[in-house]
């Protein structure tokens, strides 16, 4: 068995209902090594965090850029890495399958495919087309010696369509299409999360958002994975902006208090 295949198997086994995998989202090699040093068991890229490193908003990177970025994160750590590949940069199933094939080639243990079209005027693929795209992704992810862990995402709640019945129906269709993990970003109510978990047979990922239940409660609800999306990247951006404004507007150096903490963490992670 190759190292990549072993990492993919390990990543899959970490998804346990009631004992959720805490999956942080680094945005560059340094943040990947930092998060690995803190003790996380796996990592996932963040499309918004990656875009921010290029001075762009989420959705502003190309497939080649996303895959190159994923390869950078893979090379920075020995942990399993899953990639946020948005809608796999394609509308058609063949294009989705090609993106997943390339994801396998860069050494990933997992990747995701979502049903957001990228078009705000028509944001969500019809359920039939969305399921066909997941099926194409799953066939490719599971075809070779590396059985990539495929996460299928229903994006309704992030794009103005908070319909729980529709979201559950979509995730059930994605389950039938061959996904390994189901993800419904935007759910924050415990009763909705419980209903989703009880309506499917696969591990469920929840996005850690303000107002969402804490980790211990999500574990009781049967959640198998909790990720943070672009939140850690945004924390970094906010901290830098705060320090910069202090320097520019006040002419003081209070930011060195936080910088001193960063030195300790940096030296521990990179030394």
Average pLDDT, integer, range 7-17: 98
Is the CB of residue 109 less than 8 Å from the CB of residue 151?
no
Q: What is the pLDDT of residues 180-219, one digit of tens each?
A: 999 999 999 999 999 999 999 999 999 999 999 999 999 9
Query: For the chain, first and last CA: distance in Å?
Result: 31
Please give the sequence-ordered ranges of beta strands (E in DSSP) within the chain, or none if there are none: 21-23, 43-44, 81-83, 110-114, 149-153, 181-183, 204-207, 225-227
Distance, in Å, from the CA atom of 62 to the CA atom of 89, rounded to the nearest integer, reads 7
- The pLDDT-based confidence of 174 (bands split at 50, 70, 90) is very high
Average pLDDT, integer, range 134-139: 98
| pLDDT for res 65 | 98
Q: What is the pLDDT of residues 39-64, one digit of tens each?
A: 999 999 999 999 999 999 999 999 99
State phi, psi for 92 to the nearest 5 degrees.
Answer: -90, 150
Percent of the chain with pLDDT over 90: 99
Give the pair of three-digit tokens for residue 26.
């680094």
Is the CB of residue 20 less than 8 Å from the CB of residue 218?
yes
The mean pLDDT of the chain is 97
Measured N-to-C along each axis, helices 63-76 and 93-105 cross at an angle, to the nearest 10 degrees, of 30
Distance, in Å, from the CA atom of 142 to the CA atom of 137, rounded to the nearest integer, reads 9
CATH label, 3-229, candidates 3.10.20.30, 3.20.20.60, 2.30.30.90, 3.30.70.1450: 3.20.20.60
């Amino acid at each position: 068995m190759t190292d990549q295949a072993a990492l993919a198997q390990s990543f899959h086994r970490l998804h346990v209902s009631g004992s959720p995998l805490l999956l942080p989202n680094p945005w560059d090699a340094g943040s990947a090594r930092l998060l690995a040093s803190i003790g996380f068991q796996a990592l996932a890229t963040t499309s918004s965090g990656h875009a921010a490193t290029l001075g762009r908003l989420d959705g502003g990177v190309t497939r080649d850029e996303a895959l190159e970025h994923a390869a950078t994160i893979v090379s920075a750590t020995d942990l399993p890495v899953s990639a946020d590949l948005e809608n796999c940069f394609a509308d058609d199933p063949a294009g989705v399958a090609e993106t997943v094939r390339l994801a396998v080639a860069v050494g990933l243990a997992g990747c995701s495919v979502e049903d957001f079209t990228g078009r705000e005027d028509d944001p969500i693929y019809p359920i039939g087309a969305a399921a066909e795209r997941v099926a194409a992704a799953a066939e490719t992810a599971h075809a070779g010696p590396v059985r990539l862990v495929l996460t299928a995402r229903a994006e309704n709640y992030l794009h103005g369509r908070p319909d729980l019945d529709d979201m559950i129906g979509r995730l059930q269709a994605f389950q039938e299409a061959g996904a390994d993990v189901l993800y419904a970003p935007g759910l924050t109510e415990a009763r909705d999360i419980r209903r989703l978990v009880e309506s499917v047979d696969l591990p469920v990922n929840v996005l850690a958002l303000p107002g969402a239940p804490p980790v211990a409660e999500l574990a009781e609800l049967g959640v198998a994975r909790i990720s943070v999306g672009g939140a850690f990247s945004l924390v970094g951006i906010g901290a830098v902006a705060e320090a910069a404004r202090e320097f520019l507007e006040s002419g003081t150096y209070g930011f060195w208090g936080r910088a001193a903490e960063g030195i300790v963490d940096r030296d521990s992670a990179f030394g």
